[in-house]
Structures are given as C-alpha cells and as structure tokens.
Amino acid sequence: MKRGWKIAVVALGVIIFIPVFFISSVQAGIFGRLPGKKELSSFRNATASVVLSHEGETIGRFFSENRITIPFDQMPPHLINALVATEDARFYEHSGVDSRSLIRVVFKTILFSDRSAGGGSTITQQLAKNMYGRKDYRVFSVILNKTREVILAKRIEKVFTKDEILNLYLNTVSFGENIYGIEAASQRYFSKKAADLKVEEAALLTGMLKANTMFNPRLYPQNAVRRRNVVLGQMEKYGYLAGRAADSLSALPIKLNYSKTDLSGPADYFMVRVRMEADRILKDISAYRGKEWDLERDGLVITTTLRLPLQQAAGEAFAAHMPRMQKRLDDQYSTSSGRRALKEIPDSLKKMMTTLHAGLFAMDPATGAVMAWTGGIDFKTQPYDQVLARRQLASVFKPFIYAAALEDGVEPCTYLDNDSVTLSGFNDWSPENYNHSYGGKYSLAGALAQSMNIPTFSLFLMIGFDNIDRLWQQMGFSFPLVNMPSLAMGTAEASILEVARAYAAFANGGMLVTPYLIESVKAPDGRILWQYTPPRGSDRVLSERSATLMAAMLEKAIREGTGASVHSVYGVKIPLAGKTGTSQSYADAWFAAFNPAMVIVSRVGASTPSIHFNSGSYGSGSALALPLVAMTLKKAEKNKELMSVINTPFAPLPPELAMALDCPDFREKSFFDRLIDIFRDNNIDYQKETRRRRIIRGRIFKI
C-alpha cells in the first residue's frame, strides 16, 4: 500500500514537473527567444508608404505588407464591439488568457477531436501570433506555439492597455489579398476610411478574420453575408446591438466599393519613377542623418507633383481614343495586302507587332513639376514606358531649327524659298512638302505654322548644322545629331520627356528646367524628412526674345496651322501653342503643346516603324497623337481648380516685337527673285551650298 502511494506521488510529481519544466524552458528561450517587455513596447508593424497626388489623394502605395496604421480613436466603437463579441467575448475580463476557453479547447478539441469547440485563443494570443508568427517544431508545433503565445499574451497584457491591444490587433491582422490592418481593408473593400465604416460593413470585415479567403466578399459574397450575419448575431447576443437592429442589418445586401490601388492605379508608370526617386532620396537622408528608412515598412507619406484630375483625364482619353485607332490599324492589316505584309510572322507575334503604343507627359514649364505621366496603354501587359522611349521626331523637331535661326539673327518675317531642289551625293534626294506644292516664298512664321518642308530645308541650309547642334546639346537631348540633309525633316530621335523639357524653354522665356516628381517625404508622425528645393538657377538655352517669338510662332501653328483642330474640332478652350509631327511612312505621330503653365506631349506608334498606317487620315500627328492631348485637356477643363492653373494666357508681345509676325505667310516671287533663279542650279551639293549660304549671310549682316 505504501509502495503504491509512493508511485502515485512520484507520478503526480512527474506530471506536475514536466509541464512546469516545459513552460519554464519555453519561457527561458530554449525553443527560441521570446521578446521581453522592452522589445514588445517598441514593436511597430511594417506599414505601407502612401503616395499622394499634388491634391493629397492616394495614388498608390509601396509595401512589403499592404498596411496603413491608424490610431485607436479612428476606429469606430461598433468595429471594436464586433471584434470583441465575435473573437473574445471576455476580452476585458481576462489578462491575456481565457482559462474557460482554454479548458474547453483542451478537453473538447484535443481530447475529443471536436473542432466545433473553437480555437480558444484570445485576441491577445492572436495578436502575439500575428506579431511574431509561428515556428515549425514538427510534431510539437501546436503545443510549443500555443505555449509561446500564452506566455507572450501575458507579457503583452502587462505592457499595453486593452485599447492599445485592440489597436495593435486591428492594425496587424490580415484581411487577405496581401492587405493588413483595418484601414487598408476598409479602403480596399469600401473605398473609405475605417472611421467611416457602417455597422454592417464593420461586421463584414470582422467576419473575414475567421478565414479571409472563404469570407472574401468579392470572391464569395454569399459566404461573406452569412458570416457577417453571424457577427451581427454575436453583437446582439452580448448586448452591443438591439434585436431589431441586428435583424434589419442582416437583411441588407453587401455593397462593395472595391479599390485596388496597390496593384493598378491611375498612374502606374509614374509610380515606377516615384519609387526610383524615393529610393534615392531615402538613401541621401540616411547618409547624413544616420537613420535607415525603409520605403516598404516605415509608413512614409510621399507627396508628388502629379495633378490627379489631369492624370485621370489622360487615362480616359487613352481608353476612348486608342481602342478606336487600334481597330482601324487591325482592319488595315486584315486586308489581303496587309496580310501579305505579315504572312511570314506567327499570329502571336503579329498581335504584338501591330499593337499601337502611346505615351503622354505633362509638366509645369516654369518649375519642372511633373503634372501627368501616362507611359502606355496598359501597365500590366505593356510595362515598357513610352514616355522614355526614343523615336524619330519628324516635324516636332522643326521648332529647334527655327529657334536656332532666331538665335542667329533671322527674323520671323524673313522669307524662305519653296523651290524644289535635288541634292547630289545623296541619291538625288529632294525634300517635298506634305501638300506637294512648290514655288513662291514662305515667311519663317508661315512655314512653321504650315509645317512646310522645303522652306524648312532652305532655313536649315541657311543657318547650318552647327547652330542647330549647339542648341540641341544645350537643351539636354541624349541622342547625338548627324549632319545629314534629312535632319531638316526631323530624322533626329528623342523621348517624349526630352521633347517636353525642350519645349518648356519656349514657354518659360528660354530656361532649361529639370523635371521632378516628389514634393515632400514625411515620417508617419508628420515630420518632414525631405522637401523639394528648387535649384538656385536654371540654364538659359534661348534668349528671352527668341523664346517669346517661338511661343508666338507656335501659337500661330495651333491657331492657323496643323494643330488647329485642338480648338476647332475638340473644343479645347485654354490657350495653346504647339506643333504636330508625322514621321516617315506614318510610323510615329507626335503632338507637343504648351502655354505658360503647362507643356504636354504625346506620341503614338507601333513598336517597329515597319508597322504603320497607310495614310495621314489615321496616321498623321493631327489624327493620331493630337486627339490624346485634346481629349485630355477637354476633360481636364471640367475641373475648376486645375483650370485655374492651366488656363494661363500668353503675355502680349512687348512693343518692340509687336509687329514681328505681321507679314503674309506666303508671297509670290518678285522680279528680282526670279532673276536670281535664272542663275541658280537646283541640283546642289549639300556641303558646298551650306558653306555658300553662310558666307552670303555673313556678308549681308556685316553690311
């Protein structure tokens, strides 16, 4: 008998000792270190950095976990009630571990395999799991992880108040779709802040915590409704809702306002550039302040220069114009001749080759602030940024020839020959006007407005390659010019961004500005970590006189020339100057426009010049690229705040330049002109003719 008692006592001691030893071992960190009070008190969730437009609207986020952390006072009481009633009814009574629930789990779930008994974890235990995750201990994983969470829950309750625990939990928990925290979930499913959630919306999101995929209201709305109603029932059961209120709310359908700005937003291509610029800024901050900032974890607030109404208007213009033009190109290549042109190409490659690409970029010409950036037709399928792609400029290049001429002393009312010429040594190449006209003379202003090729070539010969090349380099273009006659027709290449930067000099009085995207970077507490500071001085690339005259000449091009449809067809009201461009065989279509407050440039074309429209009716700059700008501006004009910025008129020409463009665009040749033509050989040597004209002009200027 005594021996039996001894065995029983020893057995009891072993039974008591093993759990105590096990718990002590876990607590001591033998199975992995557990965070202490100090580490717990400094815990911070990985929080997404938010990217804002100039107006303060969210346009995207950078994150490892898509989370927006908010304080407890921004969480509505009915959200807290829904959580407590559903997940931990005795939350305010226990100190981290609910003994009653734990005993129920031990006896029902573990001993009798009754899954309906529930998990038994308190909100605090769930928080511990969310904060530090679970480790794989193989066969002992469940026991070890549960023990760790019990210990951590006890520590958490000693460090934080109940409200702080609820705040941490709701900012930590996953809602599926790679979103974390109640604020990100609220914005994803209802496009509103958590503070504005209705009771039934809070109940639906709370219901997702049980299984965020099974109860996802977008994927499985019926499951979500059933689970929401369970939550409402729990709220009624514990006195947070009256019976009638619970019944009426349970009868409501789900009304989602789904928004997925983290993967697809209004400015995807722009966001790529913001990411690159933000990384550079944070690296610089870390270098001189010593603190490392993580763009994906530290919840920074990045305010950009983007004008959201203008960006959205561009997106709508792309959606309306590009499918229509794509269909016309598809129809062209579906004909017998079109099919012959692509007969050796597989169908998948044909689709890729015949896809029209487009880009649009806008900036403030005075400051360089980027106002809109649409880099393509679809970021998911076409991520290559067309704003940065380099293409042949065609007539969009001509203003640089004319600007160089103004800098060289040529006046807007100087007349240029419109006679056919043939260049020996270049396969007898001969420039042609778009309308195939010859004869007479065009003023500088008239030739530019009507985009005349032969007068432009005459001007090119007159001022020489070196002057144009010098201006081109000063304006910051990356593509080197080649001294060839065809350069006058725009064979140079550049990107939309480079063209916009150069045209900004026509709008701002001759200064070269550098585009920038970010206005400020703030810490989560509102501290300004970095603020954009304008450079002390900009480089002058044109005299103010030349820039003013160029703006006036390009205003004329919009008012009377190839860009007139902006106002006459599309009804754009804001004042504009600008130029269309159509490269050889309609491979690329351009339109660049500006006023003192904005420069905006678009380009459309397939990925290879061999794919193009067969006529200018669809393939010209005025038919293909101009509508993107015009439709964007027409939509943007509906926004009063934006309109107050971009509806900026050109200043009147100063008195000394008031009559500078006061001459006919075209005049017939005089008797003296015709007399000179008798002795002129229209078959010329390019190099000799360039030198001859420079010598003649030099002598005239000396006189």
CA-to-CA dists, residue 672 to 669, 681, 684, 690, 693, angstroms:
8, 16, 21, 22, 18
**Distance from C-alpha of 322 to C-alpha of 328, rounded to nearest angstrom:** 10
CA-to-CA dists, residue 18 to 337, 518, 680, angstroms:
86, 60, 112
Give the confidence band of 703 by pLDDT, cuts at 50, 70, 90.
very low
**Distance from C-alpha of 102 to C-alpha of 98, rounded to nearest angstrom:** 6
Q: Which residue has the higher pLDDT, 657 or 141?
A: 657
Q: In the predicted model, what is the mean pLDDT of the chain?
A: 88
| Opening angle at CA 155, ends 154 and 159, nearest 5 | 120
Which residues does residue 579 pair with via DSSP β-bridges, in sequence order? 592
**Domain ranges within the chain, ordered by starting residue:** 67-250, 310-651+661-684
Q: Is 263 left (phi over 0), alpha (psi -120 to 50) or beta?
A: alpha
Q: How many CB atoms are closer than 10 A to CB 659?
A: 11
**Distance from C-alpha of 361 to C-alpha of 359, rounded to nearest angstrom:** 7
Give the confidence band of 311 by pLDDT, cuts at 50, 70, 90.
very high
3-state helix, strand, coil in the chain (%, to 5): 50, 15, 35
- The residues, any chain, with a CB within 8 Å of residue 94's CB and separated by 6 or more, are 122
Q: Are 124 and 156 in contact (CB under 8 A)?
A: yes
Question: How many residues does the structure list for the chain?
Answer: 703
pLDDT at 701 over 90: no
Mean pLDDT of 251-266: 81
Of 87-91, 137-141, 348-352, 595-599, the one with minimum mean pLDDT is 137-141
CA dihedral 88, 94, 100, 106 (to 10 degrees): 80
pLDDT at 672 over 90: no
Q: Are 444 and 548 in contact (CB under 8 A)?
A: no
The predicted pLDDT at position 115 comes to 46
Q: Can you identify the CATH homologous superfamily of domain 310-651+661-684?
A: DD-peptidase/beta-lactamase superfamily (3.40.710.10)
- DSSP class per residue in 86-133: HH-TTTTTSSS--HHHHHHIIIIIIIT--GGG-----HHHHHHHHHH-
Q: Which residue has the higher pLDDT, 445 or 287?
A: 445
- DSSP class per residue in 431-468: ---TT----SEEEHHHHHHTT-HHHHHHHHHHH-HHHH
360 phi and psi, to 5 degrees? -145, 135
**Distance from C-alpha of 530 to C-alpha of 60, rounded to nearest angstrom:** 19
Domains 67-250 and 310-651+661-684 agree in fold: no
- Token readout for 650 is 């050109």
Mean pLDDT of 253-272: 84
Nearest to 523 by CA among 331, 299, 358, 367: 299
Q: pLDDT for 321-373, tens place per residue? A: 999 999 999 999 988 676 777 766 687 688 888 999 999 999 999 999 999 99
Q: What is the DSSP letter of 612?
A: -
The predicted pLDDT at position 116 comes to 45
Q: Are 167 and 195 in contact (CB under 8 A)?
A: no
State CA 224 to chain mean position distance. Answer: 33
Q: pLDDT for 160-198, tens place per residue? A: 999 999 999 999 999 998 889 999 999 999 999 999 999
Mean pLDDT of 671-675: 70
3 state DSSP class of 57 = coil
Q: pLDDT for 15-44, tens place per residue? A: 665 555 555 545 555 555 567 777 777 777
Q: What is the DSSP letter of 38?
A: H
Give the confidence band of 1 by pLDDT, cuts at 50, 70, 90.
low
- Token readout for 479 is 């593509």
For CA atoms 412, 414, 415, 416, the dihedral sign is negative
**Distance from C-alpha of 443 to C-alpha of 406, rounded to nearest angstrom:** 13
**Distance from C-alpha of 583 to C-alpha of 608, rounded to nearest angstrom:** 12
Nearest to 242 by CA among 251, 233, 230: 233
H-state helical runs in 525-666 = 544-560, 565-568, 616-619, 626-636, 640-646
pLDDT at 454 over 90: yes
- Please give the model's pTM, rounded to 2 decimal places: 0.82
3 state DSSP class of 667 = strand
Nearest to 601 by CA among 423, 360, 438, 300: 360
- What percentage of the chain has pLDDT greater than the value 70? 84
The predicted pLDDT at position 139 comes to 47
Mean pLDDT of 611-636: 96
- The residues, any chain, with a CB within 8 Å of residue 106's CB and separated by 6 or more, are none
Which residues does residue 362 pair with via DSSP β-bridges, in sequence order? 372, 600
Q: Are 503 and 596 in contact (CB under 8 A)?
A: no
**Distance from C-alpha of 243 to C-alpha of 260, rounded to nearest angstrom:** 35
Architecture of the CATH domain 67-250: Orthogonal Bundle (1.10)
CA-to-CA dists, residue 485 to 126, 473, 490, angstroms:
74, 19, 10
The predicted pLDDT at position 103 comes to 67
Nearest to 338 by CA among 111, 114, 613, 605: 613
- DSSP class per residue in 320-381: HHHHHHHHHHHHHHTSHHHHHHTTTS-HHHHHHHT-EEEEEEEE-TTT-BEEEEE--S-TTT
Number of alpha carbons in the 13 Å side-chain half-sphere of residue 92 = 7
